[in-house]
Amino acid sequence: MEFLFDYGLFLAKIATVVVSIIAILIAAKAVGGKSAGAKGELEVTNLTEQYKDTVVELEHHLFDDAELKARTKAEKKADKEAEKAKQKEIKQAAKSGELELKRDARLFVLDFNGSIDAKEVAALREEVSAILAVAIEGDEVLLRLESGGGMVHGYGLASSQLDRLRDANIKLTISVDKVAASGGYMMACIGEKIIAAPFAIVGSIGVVAQLPNFNKLLKKNDIEFEQLTAGEYKRTLTMFGENSDKAREKFQLELEETHVLFKDFIREHRSELDLEKVATGEHWFGKQALELGLIDEIQTSDDYLTKACKNREVLAIHYVQKKKLSDKIAGIAGQSAENVFMRLISKGQRPIV
């Protein structure tokens, strides 16, 4: 009897802990909901300074300390004289009322590692807006792009963000180190110049949609499925109902129409491409893509940035969204399950590029 009492007390304690955790999660979600409007922040990293620091660190292992100290002293003296002259010029301009803010052209570096629904566009639009707010003539943007494609609407919006840079006459270079296929290439073709690593995967200008159908399995187990729609083509193919030839033909037509729009978009931005040859859904490696005109040069982003850091200031721009407390506590497992389910549904109902 005493054992049962102790066991019941133990269960009560466990229940109390579980209820407390649930209460904390609910409270955290409520707080997170109230602060949903809170924005993230821009993180700016000076890649030129990082490059110089790396060079200096290695030089200490390669050259005599006396030589390095002498060079450093000379550089500091030159920098001091240049800064003194600059300050004098600023004071004179301010005194005469002709002071204007001036700076040298910069290279801004953005990163887009695209998921299937292109959710990274939320950060991309903030980064692009920030650059447009301060851009001057001569500035350039390098986008390090990695994506195998995904939802048409998501990658269409991401491409539109890059178009904002081109509309503002800002040079846009796209770098592909691993893959820019399908929707990824839709984004890449916006660039004034596309560079890619020798074995980067490029192309896949096509559209695909697929979904399983469980209708026979449901019938076998005497499970009925009902779906009500208003509008002849509100739903064409379905995962649980019986699909008709008419529904398949309509869905195929929608895929073909999306492919035509995709090709028109590519043609608008890279008119020299032979679309009959490359818009087949195939993908190619970097060197093959260069021969076909899908890219402009074989080069990695590392080589491009190393060269740029020697000549001008290079700034990496990242927009970081602050995570809500509820997301940090309970987000990972639930979000993963939700993403898997969303992908299964979305793949069947929306075309993918």
Catalytic residue ranges: 182, 234
296: how many CB neighbours lie within 10 A of its CB? 17
Residue whose pair of structure tokens reads 């300074």 in the numeric block: 49
Closest CA to 60 of 51, 68, 70: 68
Closest CA to 139 of 318, 317, 298: 317
d(CA 109, CA 197): 17
Cα-to-chain-centroid distance, residue 187: 10
H or E stretch covering 325:
helix 325-349
Helix pair 301-311, 47-59: axis angle to 10 deg: 90
Closest CA to 158 of 185, 193, 176: 185
CA distances from 202 to 142, 229, 289 (A): 18, 40, 7
Residue whose pair of structure tokens reads 């200031």 in the numeric block: 313
For residue 237, the one-letter residue type is L
Helix pair 121-134, 152-167: axis angle to 10 deg: 10
Could you tell me whether strands 283-285 and 193-196 are parallel, antiparallel, or unpaired per DSSP bridges? unpaired
d(CA 173, CA 169): 12
